[in-house]
Amino acid sequence: MVQFSSQMFVRVSDEEKYGGLLFCQLREKGVFILEGLPCYLTTSHTDEDIDFVINAVKEAVAFSVSVVNSFDVGFVCQHQLRK
């Protein structure tokens, strides 16, 4: 480990066309996180808090991947999302 602190940044590669879905899904699941802004982990966070975030990330990634795959195979058209 090169560095460690209570401040961290979650980044999605600019190459990921729908990468912003991850942040929307995390907020939907109760994890307040904004793209490009820092997150904090402190000693006031419990093991349950950390488990909650880990599970939310797993679910958000799974959802985001399924949406991207739906776009790729044509199940969802972008114009359908604008309605």
Containing structural domain, residue 76: 7-81
Per-residue pLDDT tens over the stretch 8-23? 888 888 887 778 888 9
Cα separation, 10 vs 24, whole angstroms: 13
Looking at the domain assignment, is residue 62 inside a domain?
yes
Cα separation, 56 vs 74, whole angstroms: 27
* CB-based burial label for 67 (10 Å; 0-12, 13-18, 19+): middle
Q: Is the pLDDT of residue 73 over 60?
A: no
User: By the 8 A CB rule, do 23 and 33 touch?
Assistant: yes
Looking at the domain assignment, is residue 60 inside a domain?
yes
Residue 7, strand partner residues: 40
Looking at the domain assignment, is residue 42 inside a domain?
yes
- Say how many domains are in the chain: 1
pLDDT value of position 3: 57
Looking at the domain assignment, is residue 1 inside a domain?
no
pTM exceeds cut of 0.75? no
Looking at the domain assignment, is residue 37 inside a domain?
yes
Per-residue pLDDT tens over the stretch 5-63? 678 888 888 887 778 888 989 999 999 988 888 888 888 889 999 999 999 999 998 88
Q: Across all residues in the chain, what is the average pLDDT?
A: 79
